[in-house]
Amino acid sequence: MVLGYLLARAGIDVLVLEKHVDFLRDFRGDTVHPSTLQVLYELGILDSFLARPHQQLKRIGAQIGPFQVKIADFTHLPTKCKFVVLMPQWDFLNFLVESAKGYSGFRVMMETEATDLIEEQGRICGLRAKKRNNPVEIRADLVVAADGRHSVMRQKANLKSEILGAPIDVLWMRVSRKAESDPEQSLGRVSTGKFLVMLNRGDYWQCAYVIPKDGFDKIRAKGIESFRKDLAEVAPFLSDRVDELKSWDDIKLLSVAVDRLRDWCRAGFLCIGDSAHAMSPIGGVGINLAIQDAVAAANILAPSLRAGEVSTRLLRKVQQRRLFPTRATQRLQIFAQDRIVYPTLRSGAPIETLPWPIKLLNRFQILRRVPARVIGLGFRPEHVRIQASQ
């Protein structure tokens, strides 16, 4: 959607396909980081975005056993917005659509699922789709796959990925929130063998309960009551509400994957975001890394797209530009999930002391600028370089 906005702003005809009737997907990330807010500022739409209901996090921390710890401080970032915005992604997507409709070349086709690519003489020149089960054929100078970690389009393009591994999965659920007594923002909570992330969505908590990879069947075998007790143990203020989870139908499994395509493109075809590099949920940076891909792609490709054709050499430049940030971020995520999160889940011992890196962050405020920069800006943040068409 961001790429579509940027290209339409540059005077290029764009069609964005969305297979659902709306954007209401619980599994989409809610965090909009300072790097993304900077892009909105450079586009002149930041104030309109911030006028929508949202929350702002200037600092993040966690409850680790008996310890309340401070991890990142965004107030020193060299950006217009020195905070993370929490906003349901469906609101963000609706905002982008409304903003982009001001450009005559921008269109969104809802309830349209891409099913196959059209290839002629070794070049991708369009795609086939279903719109309410009716076949649709779309011709294009460039097809961009942004259809997530289970991308159909990258499979059809026969692009191979390198599996980097993830020893964790996530259980996704919601529990009601009491504004008068619950914390304003909870984020990470860790206790003996349990790891919970909570996002405040006004009248309810969106909860992500981290479990060992392929461990859901074992949890289910213990029964829903046992799972409710585990939730109440890691977040005691939810004790009077965990019975809102009536059955396992109220709890969804998100299978975590970390991978990266060897080649992000073919002639006439490009992958960005999770289609090119599935990210771990650690740090909540996936959506923001995808948006950085979109900005880089627009900067590199817009002039050639205006002329009606984009070379494979330019498509490779997008991968070259974004490969280092992707590798560096995934390397940190893998370190965190393998060395911190997974050992925590496997440990049955009570938490009596903090790891030394957390101790240092908690004690020295200046050190919290480092994780703030990694989470808030990432590696090699992108800026809007292309001018709006007249």
**pLDDT tens column, 274-287:** 999 999 988 889 99
pLDDT higher than 70, residue 165:
yes
Least-confidence region, from 14-18, 102-106, 116-120, 202-206: 202-206
Mapping DSSP to helix (H, G, I), strand (E, B) and coil, where does residue 68 land?
A: strand
Rounded to an integer, the average pLDDT of 23-30 is 74
Query: Considering the chain, what is the average pLDDT of its residues?
Result: 92
Q: What is the tens place of the pLDDT at every residue in 167-179? A: 999 999 999 999 8
Looking at the domain 2-59+79-164+257-336, which fold is it? FAD/NAD(P)-binding domain (3.50.50)
Per-residue pLDDT averaged across 91-107, rounded?
Answer: 95
Cβ contacts of 64 within 8 Å, gap of 6 or more = 188, 190, 351, 354, 358
Q: What is each CA distance from 80 to 39, 152, 154, in whole angstroms?
A: 10, 37, 36
- pTM of the predicted model as reported, rounded to 2 decimal places: 0.93
Please return the burial class of 109, using the count of CB atoms within 10 Å of its CB with bins 0-12, 13-18 and 19+.
middle
- Give dist(CA 255, CA 20) in Å, integer: 21
For the four alpha carbons of 78, 30, 269 and 390, in that order, the dihedral sign comes to negative
Q: What is the mean pLDDT of residues 189-204?
A: 87
Residue 186 has pLDDT above 70, yes or no: no
Cα→Cα distances 334→60, 279, 346, Å? 21, 10, 16
Alpha carbon 47 to its chain's center:
22
Mean pLDDT of 232-247: 94
β-pairing verdict for 67-73 and 59-64: antiparallel
- Three-state DSSP at 196 gives strand
